[in-house]
């Protein structure tokens, strides 16, 4: 039982990171109906920015993270602005455009930071907590707290602010939102900006848990994408539940199947999606022009 609970705790910590990545995917999709295939690459950029500011510039982790979030949020704005002219012309080209941006970001990461990775020490050096015989890393609690706070802030923004309500309206009906005077392009830009910020938050937090390398975003992007689908693509609660589920499943398969953990995780994921294709909190398809 102790091993079981210990595995769940580790899985929830990593699952919180997957949930942040899934939230970025879902937010852009629910607002635009677009899958941002560059999202994983933005995670990589965010991870490298945060680790560089923390290790090379020797800034406190609490300061390095917000700076990385702002910078990657700006990258999200750039991606949306470049893709905007294609929105009412060819939606397939927008999808291809996000793939192209991902390739460019990947090349830039290697050009700037090189192909080798870097280990990021935990910003919380205190020893693990001993709770009823369970060893809980303090940094795991920090990750959970920050991820929970970011999720709550996002939900409050979407539900309590005028701009958030406008984004919700665009998500519900693109044409109706345009008809009542909502600036759809601005809502799309904010979605990309927040998505970029969430990507940086996920990348920065996962650095001390894993290993920052050019392949990091690909791995997190796939897990976050799977989490978003599992929860119901476009659903905010679904992204959270899907991320935690993938994280816990990942932890158990890593402990029992070692080299085959990734395969087993996605086999289980595939079976679940075959049983419930819309995901746990599946929403209706986003209306597009």
Nearest one of 227, 219, 230, 231 to 262, comparing CA atoms? 219
Compute the Cα dihedral for 71, 75, 80, 81 and give only its sign: positive
**SS3 of the chain:** CHHHHHHHHHHHHHHHHHHHHHHHHHHHHHHHCCCCCCHHHHHHHHHHHHHHHHHHCCCCHHHHHHHHHHHHHHHHHHHHHHHHHHCCCCHHHHHHHHHHHHHHHHHHHHHHHCCCCECCCCCCCCCCEEECCEEECHHHHHHHHHHHHHHHHHHHHHHHCHHHHHHHHHHHCHHHHHHCCCCHHHHHHHHHHHHHHHHHHHHHHHCCCCCECCCHHHHHHHHHHHHHHHHCCCCHHHHHHHHHHHHHHHHHHHHHHHHHHHHHHHHHHHHHHHHCCCCCCCCCCCCCC
**pTM recorded for the entire structure:** 0.90
- pLDDT computed for residue 198 by the predictor: 96
User: 195, 27 in Cβ contact below 8 A?
Assistant: yes
The total of other beta-carbon atoms located within 10 Å of residue 124's CB is 14
Distance CA 166, CA 269 (A): 33
- pLDDT computed for residue 92 by the predictor: 83
- pLDDT computed for residue 152 by the predictor: 95
Distance CA 229, CA 252 (A): 20
Topology, domain 2-113+133-286: ABC transporter involved in vitamin B12 uptake, BtuC (1.10.3470)
Residues with Cβ < 8 Å from 210, sequence gap 6 or more? Answer: 216
Q: Which of the residues in the chain have pLDDT under 50?
A: 284-289
Residue in this structure with the two tokens 């609660």, named with its chain if needed: 237
User: 75, 138 in Cβ contact below 8 A?
Assistant: no
Ordered by start, the domain boundaries in the chain are: 2-113+133-286
User: 49, 201 in Cβ contact below 8 A?
Assistant: no
Angle between helices 61-83 and 184-206 (to 10 degrees): 140
User: 152, 264 in Cβ contact below 8 A?
Assistant: no
Neighbour-count burial for 186-211, b at 16+ CB within 10 Å, e otherwise: ebbbbbbbbbbbbbbbbbbbbbbbbe
């Amino acid at each position: 039982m102790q091993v079981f609970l210990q595995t769940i705790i580790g899985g929830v910590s990593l699952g919180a990171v997957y949930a942040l990545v899934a939230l970025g995917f879902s937010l852009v999709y629910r607002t635009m109906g677009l899958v941002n295939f560059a999202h994983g690459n933005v995670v990589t950029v965010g991870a490298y920015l945060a680790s560089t500011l923390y290790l090379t510039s020797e800034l406190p982790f609490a300061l390095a993270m917000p700076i990385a979030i702002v910078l990657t949020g700006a990258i999200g704005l750039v991606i949306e602005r470049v893709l905007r002219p294609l929105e009412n012309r060819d939606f397939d080209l927008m999808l291809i455009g996000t793939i192209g941006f991902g390739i460019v970001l990947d090349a830039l990461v290697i050009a700037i930071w090189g192909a080798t990775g870097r280990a990021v020490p935990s910003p919380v050096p205190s020893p693990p907590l001993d709770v009823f015989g369970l060893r809980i890393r303090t940094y795991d609690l920090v990750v959970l707290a920050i991820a929970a706070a970011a999720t709550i802030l996002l939900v409050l923004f979407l539900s309590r602010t005028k701009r958030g309500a406008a984004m919700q309206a665009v998500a519900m009906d693109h044409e109706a939102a345009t008809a009542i005077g909502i600036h759809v392009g601005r809502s799309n830009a904010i979605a990309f900006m927040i998505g970029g910020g969430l990507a940086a938050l996920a990348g920065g937090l996962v650095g001390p848990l894993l290993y920052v390398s050019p392949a990091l975003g690909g791995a997190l992007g796939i897990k976050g994408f799977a989490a978003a689908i599992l929860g119901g693509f476009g659903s905010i609660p679904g992204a959270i539940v899907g991320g935690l589920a993938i994280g816990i499943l990942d932890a158990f398969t890593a402990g029992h199947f070692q080299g085959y953990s990734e395969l087993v995780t996605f086999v289980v994921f595939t079976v679940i999606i075959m049983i419930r294709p819309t995901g746990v909190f599946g929403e209706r398809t986003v209306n597009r022009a």
